Amino acid sequence: MNRRINLSQAFVTMGILVVLLIVFLAEVFLGGSENTNVLMKMGAMSNYAVVVGNQWWRLFTAQFLHIGVMHLVSNAVIIYYMGQYIEPIMGHARFLVTYLLAGIGGNLMSLAFSSDRGLSAGASTALFGLFGAMTAIGLRNIHNPMISFLGRQAFVLALINLGIDIFVPGIDIWGHLGGLIVGFLLAVILGDRVMKTYNPKWRVLAGAVLIFYVVWTVRTGMIINF
């Protein structure tokens, strides 16, 4: 039995965008979104602070901060676009869980491989999680023309953005790649509410890979180099 996808059912997406805007305004009020002290105070990713300062909460908070208004706008536009069709397909709870955990997963990859001297922030780790999730859903529903197309489109967008990352200085490509991987694995595990879920073997395998990913990135990230 096919179920119609209501593209207006994306209130979690809108809620995320409202939160991002409120946090950005708080950054500006406190001294500026490009002020290092403000970013550190509000929870930007700093490998040194996470490991040495035991501030693991930064893995979560960094995905709500942005460095400059264009950083916010570019992420918000794509989150809005992706959320309009991914949220109705996944369901509100699965969508939110995938978004937030992919953001953390991306920051774990950043912790493991990005410069320990840098400071990073942005919703793009979570955004790439949406790319990964839609790719997984598209693969599972490959015989559904619309969902399969959306999956391919998400994968192509991810590749284009990763390609741009290589040539743009100051972009945390590791965070993006990590978010993509975690989003894909979460969609395999959680499934979606509209079409089909992966069989139990694939879901267990994805869960095992996700656990390995978390252990591997944490262990690697615990080594700080200056």
Catalytic residue annotation = 124, 176
Residue 120: phi, psi to the nearest 5? -135, 155
Number of C-beta neighbours around residue 169 at 10 A: 4
* DSSP state string for 94-140: HHHHHHHHHHHHHHHHHHHHS-TT--B--THHHHHHHHHHHHHHHHH
Report how far residue 198's alpha carbon sits from residue 18's, in angstroms, rounded to the nearest whole number: 33
Report how far residue 36's alpha carbon sits from residue 49's, in angstroms, rounded to the nearest whole number: 13
Structure tokens at 163: 């390609």
